[in-house]
C-alpha cells in the first residue's frame, strides 16, 4: 500500500481540505502544512489513531505541535478525541468528514475499530436520547456508542 499522506489529491481530499480550511478560518486559524499533514494522516486510516500512530505515519511532525493541532482541530469540530482511559487517547476526523459510526473497543489490547449501524436504529436512538436530555434540561450535541469486548486477535490468545 502506498503512503496515503503523499498520494495525489483526489476529489475527496480536496473537499476535505476545503472543509477544514473553512472551519479553521472561522476562528482565525491558519491551515498550515503541518495541519494538512495531520488531517491527511487521520484521513488515511480506517481506525482512530494515537499520537504514536500519527508520528509514525508522519515522522517529521513534532509531537508537541501534533498535540496542539489536535486540540485546535477539535475546537473547530474537525477532530474527535476518544479517551480510552488507559494509555494514549485516540483521534479521528469528526462527523462531517467521516460518516457517523461507532466503535468496537478491545478491552485487552485497546484496539479500536469502526462500525456503522442502520439509519433506522440511529434515528430511534437519537429520538430517545433527545427525550431524556430534554427531561434533564441538557442540550444534546452528539452521542457516542462503543461496544467493549475482545477483538478476534486477543480472543484467540485467551
Partner DNA sequence: CGCAATAATGATAATGAGTCTCATTTACAA
Partner DNA sequence: TTGTAAATGAGACTCATTATCATTATTGCG
* Residues of the shown chain interacting with a copy of itself in the complex, contacts defined by CB under 8 A: 81-86, 89, 104, 106-107, 113, 115-118, 121, 124-125, 128-129, 132-133, 136-152, 155
Q: From the list a copy of itself, DNA, none, which binds 35 (C-beta under 5 to 8 Å, kind-based)?
A: DNA
Q: Which is nearer to a copy of itself, 72 or 82 (CB)?
A: 82
For residue 70, the surrounding DSSP H or E stretch is helix 63-75
| CB of residue 119 to a copy of itself, shortest distance in Å | 11
Q: Which residues lie across from 111 on neighbouring strands?
A: none
Return the one option of DNA, a copy of itself, none that residue 118 interacts with (CB less than 5 to 8 A, by type).
a copy of itself
Contacts of 138 (CB under 8 A, 6+ apart): none
Cα radius of gyration rounded to whole Å, the chain: 17
We find the least distance from the C-beta atom of residue 137 to DNA, in angstroms, to be 28
* Euclidean distance between CA atoms 16 and 141, whole angstroms: 22
Give whichever of 38 and 93 is closer to DNA, judged by the CB atom: 38
Q: What is the DSSP letter of 95?
A: T
> From the list a copy of itself, DNA, none, which binds 88 (C-beta under 5 to 8 Å, kind-based)?
DNA
Integer Cα distance of 46 and 66 in angstroms: 19
Place of cell 500519527: 54
Q: Which residues bind DNA (CB under 7 A)?
A: 24, 28-35, 50-51, 60-65, 67-72, 86-89
Amino acid at each position: 500500500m502506498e503512503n496515503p499522506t503523499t498520494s495525489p489529491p483526489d476529489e475527496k481530499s480536496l473537499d476535505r481540505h476545503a472543509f477544514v480550511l473553512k472551519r479553521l478560518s472561522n476562528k482565525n486559524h491558519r491551515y498550515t502544512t503541518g495541519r494538512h499533514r495531520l488531517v491527511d494522516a487521520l484521513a488515511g486510516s480506517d481506525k482512530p489513531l494515537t499520537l504514536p500512530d500519527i508520528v509514525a505515519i508522519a515522522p517529521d511532525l513534532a509531537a508537541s505541535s501534533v498535540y496542539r493541532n489536535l486540540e485546535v482541530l477539535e475546537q473547530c469540530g474537525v477532530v474527535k478525541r476518544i479517551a480510552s482511559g488507559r494509555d494514549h487517547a485516540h483521534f479521528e476526523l469528526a462527523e462531517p468528514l467521516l460518516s457517523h459510526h461507532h466503535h468496537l473497543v478491545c478491552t485487552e489490547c485497546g484496539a479500536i475499530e469502526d462500525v456503522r449501524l442502520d439509519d433506522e436504529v440511529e434515528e430511534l436512538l437519537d429520538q430517545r436520547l433527545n427525550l431524556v436530555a430534554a427531561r434533564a434540561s441538557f442540550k444534546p450535541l452528539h452521542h457516542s456508542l462503543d461496544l467493549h469486548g475482545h477483538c478476534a486477535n486477543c480472543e484467540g490468545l485467551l
